[in-house]
Amino acid sequence: MAGNTTEGGGGFGCFAAAAVALVFCGMVFLWTCYTKVPANTIGVRTLANGGIEKMDYGPGYVLCIPGLHQVKLWDPTWTNVYQHMEVRGSDQYKTSVDVSVILRIHKDKCHDVAGKFQGYERIKSRVLTSLSQYANEILTQMKTEDFYNAKLRDERTAQMQKLMDTQLEELGLEVKSVLLRNIIYDPTYEEQLLKKQLAGQTRDLEDALTKQTIGETETELIGKQADAEVLSIKEKQDQEIANLKAEMDQTCNKIMQDAQLKAEAATAKAKSDKRANIAKADTIKAEATAAGTKALSRVYAKPGASYYFAQKALAGIKLGNIELNSNTFNPLETDKLLKALGLDLHVPQAQSTPAK
Give residue-wise pLDDT tens across range 188-206.
777 777 777 778 888 888 8
30-34, 105-109, 209-213: which range is least confident on average?
A: 30-34
What is the distance between the alpha carbons of residues 34 and 28, in angstroms, rounded to a whole number?
10
What is the distance between the alpha carbons of residues 286 and 293, in angstroms, rounded to a whole number?
10
24-28, 179-183, 307-311, 320-324: which range is least confident on average?
A: 24-28
- Report phi then psi at 329, rounded to 5: -155, 170
Rounded to an integer, the average pLDDT of 1-13 is 53
Render pLDDT for 229-281 as a digit per residue (tens, 0 to 9): 888 898 888 888 988 888 888 888 888 888 888 888 878 888 887 888 888 88
Percent of the chain at pLDDT exceeding 70? 75
Q: Bridge partners of 196?
A: none
Rounded to an integer, the average pLDDT of 41-57 is 83
Rounded to an integer, the average pLDDT of 68-91 is 87
Query: Domains of the chain: which residue ranges?
Result: 14-74, 79-185, 302-350+352-356
- 8 within 8 A of 42, measured Cβ to Cβ: no
Give the pLDDT band (50/70/90) at residue 20: low
The model's pTM: 0.48
Say how many CA atoms lie within 13 Å of 234 toward its Cβ.
Answer: 6
Helix (H) or strand (E) holding 85: strand 79-88
Higher local confidence (pLDDT), 41 or 319: 41
Percent of the chain at pLDDT exceeding 90? 18
What's the pLDDT at 118? Answer: 85
Residue 24 has pLDDT above 60, yes or no: no
The DSSP output letter for 59 is S
Residues in the chain: 356
- What CA–CA distances, in Å, run from 341 to 12, 14, 325, 347? 219, 220, 11, 14
Rounded to an integer, the average pLDDT of 27-41 is 73
- 93 within 8 A of 189, measured Cβ to Cβ: yes
- What CA–CA distances, in Å, run from 276 to 264, 268, 269, 272, 279? 17, 12, 10, 6, 5
What's the pLDDT at 2? Answer: 43
Rounded to an integer, the average pLDDT of 302-330 is 64
- Report phi then psi at 44, rounded to 5: -120, 125
Identity of the residue numbered 232 = S
What's the pLDDT at 258? Answer: 81
What's the pLDDT at 124? Answer: 93
Rounded to an integer, the average pLDDT of 281-298 is 77
Look up the CATH number of domain 79-185: 3.30.479.30
What is the distance between the alpha carbons of residues 80 and 64, in angstroms, rounded to a whole number?
31
What's the pLDDT at 72? Answer: 84
What is the distance between the alpha carbons of residues 62 and 221, in angstroms, rounded to a whole number?
90
What's the pLDDT at 304? Answer: 65
* CA 260 to centroid of chain Cα atoms: 62
- 140 within 8 A of 90, measured Cβ to Cβ: yes
What's the pLDDT at 156? Answer: 92
Closest alpha carbon to 138 in 115, 121, 111, 157: 157
Alpha-helix runs per DSSP H in the chain: 2-33, 110-116, 120-138, 150-169, 187-300, 305-316, 334-340
Render pLDDT for 128-178 as a digit per residue (tens, 0 to 9): 999 999 999 899 898 888 888 889 999 999 999 999 999 999 999 999 999
The DSSP output letter for 144 is G
> What residues contact 68, with CB distance under 8 A and at least 6 apart?
47, 48
Give the pLDDT band (50/70/90) at residue 6: very low
Give the pLDDT band (50/70/90) at residue 31: low
What is the distance between the alpha carbons of residues 63 and 73, in angstroms, rounded to a whole number?
14
